Amino acid sequence: MNVDDSAGAGGRVVPVDPQRPEPSVVERAGRLLRGGGLVAFPTETVYGLGANALDDTAVRRIFAAKERSLNDPLIVHIGGLADLTRVAVDVPPLVEVLATSFWPGPLTLVLRKSHQVPDSVTAGLASVAVRVPRHPVAAALLRAAGVPVAAPSANRFTRTSATTAAHVQEDLAGRVDLILDGGAAPIGIESTVLRVNQDGSVELLRPGAVSVEAIDAVLRGAGRGGVARRAGTPAGAPDSAGRAAASGRAGSLDTSADDGPAASPGQMLKHYAPRARLLYFRGPENAARSAMRRALRTALNQGQAVGLLRFEEDRAAFRDMTDGTPGLVAEDLGPASDVAGVGSRLFAAMRRLDGAGVAAIYIRSLPATGLGLAIDDRLTRAAGGRVIDLE
Ligand code: TXA
Ligand code: MG
């Protein structure tokens, strides 16, 4: 590996202006990437752990650093639609429509892979996931690197995504050549992943920062049907459970002839998880609050340290418990009505509760529309099955 020696192996953190990234910093990070190094960088969604997507050895270092299983493919980041032909082939015309509406931005498209992309990036799949990030640091880094950059979220495998450079350090210190600290990732929830099939049909693989409603509107505008939301559990994905199978929410993707048994990677039920057990109370807010109060009371009576992820609207309902109750730590997510604000605070708040050493974290649902669908997905996975469905 020909890594620039100025970074060292210690995972140096270098501040970078999130709006006007300093060219000297970005150039150095770009050189590192070209030389086979690992660079963590902010995107508008979460921090990414990047490597040259065309360099098999560099890509393997990502999996090692994250302790990520090799059957979970990576997203390839490119600077613009013009670079798509470097990583994808047989690109359906609809991609241009989606790219015009959503790139640069938090939409990832799964397309047929070019043979230039090593199998390590795609976990052997015939498809590749591609996105054009909008964050100025990510955009500048891609220009400086001059190569497509494979980058999963910069957290240890299955853990909560990193939304700050400090989170990256927490999980990956000593395993990364350079961490660009551009402040908090503004959206805080990962990109939406869509498969675009050769026949122009579109399937939701992971709800994310671009809402299904917004994608549907663009598809309808182009005279197409909406996004297909598959339910059910894919064959050959041992950790998957058929969450959402009955609810019609975004579920796991079926395996297809195109892609073989790992077609639904990243859909493991336990993912995005804090260390503490997360209990997710899903249903009408009053029922959820009452159930949470009962469960919290029981846990506190047993002497457990517990964490509450609290919405502004719920302050009064929990006040008697949060005011001075030993063992209960509350973290504020802001108003439930401000879903974008909740999204931007969620992962950091989970990490703070982990830092406080609580054994369990309690949170209630928001309506699963817009960004709320992605939040519901992340909480369901963070709960790893501990979803309390209320009527
Ligand atoms: O916002 C984001 O998407 C962030 C930033 C860094 O760009 N990245 C991110 O990457 O969340 P990661 O690796 O944590 O999640 C990528 C998701 C996984 O669920 C993965 O399985 C899926 O995309 N994916 C990647 N390639 C795929 C493919 N060829 N077919 C189906 N799913 C794929
Ligand atoms: Mg991830």
Per-residue model confidence as pLDDT tens digits over 314-346: 999 999 998 888 899 999 999 999 999 999 999
Of residues 261 and 56, the one with the higher pLDDT is: 56
Single-letter amino acid, residue 43:
T
| pTM tops 0.85, yes or no | yes
pLDDT tens digits, 4-14: 444 444 569 99
pLDDT of residue 265: 54
Overall average pLDDT of the 33-57 stretch: 98
pLDDT of residue 11: 60
Any residues with Cβ below 6 Å from ligand 1, and which?
43, 45-46, 48, 72-75, 106, 108, 110, 122, 125, 127-129, 151-153, 190-191, 193, 205-206, 265-266
pLDDT of residue 267: 57
pLDDT higher than 80, residue 372: yes
pLDDT tens digits, 112-125: 999 999 999 999 99
Ligand 1: residue whose CA is nearest its atom 18:
266
pLDDT higher than 60, residue 381: yes
pLDDT higher than 80, residue 179: yes
329: DSSP letter: E
What's the token pair of residue 246? 């009955």
Q: What is the mean pLDDT of the chain?
A: 89
How far apart are the CA of 157 and the centre of ligand 2, in A? Answer: 7
Ligand 1: residue whose CA is nearest its atom 7:
48
Specify whether the backbone of 188 is left (phi greater than 0), alpha (psi in -120 to 50) or beta.
left
pLDDT tens digits, 97-111: 999 999 999 999 999
> What are the C-alpha distances in Å from 310 to residues 281, 295, 300, 319, 329?
12, 15, 17, 11, 10
pLDDT of residue 7: 42
Overall average pLDDT of the 233-247 stretch: 31
How far apart are the CA of 192 and the centre of ligand 1, in A? Answer: 9
The Cα–Cα gap between 202 and 190 comes to: 19
Overall average pLDDT of the 273-293 stretch: 95
Least confident piece of the model among 4-13, 184-193, 358-367, 378-387 = 4-13
Given CA atoms 185, 189, 190, 193 in this order, what sign does their dihedral have? negative
Maximum CA extent, the chain: 61
Ligand 1: residue whose CA is nearest its atom 6:
48
Single-letter amino acid, residue 101:
S
How far apart are the CA of 331 and the centre of ligand 1, in A? Answer: 28
Least confident piece of the model among 44-58, 126-140, 198-212, 264-278 = 264-278
Q: In which band, very low, low, confident or very high, does the pLDDT at 254 lie, cut at 50, 70 and 90?
A: very low
pLDDT higher than 90, residue 229: no
Mutate to test the pocket of ligand 1, among 127, 130, 193, 239 (most ligand atoms within 8 A of CB): 193
Overall average pLDDT of the 163-180 stretch: 96
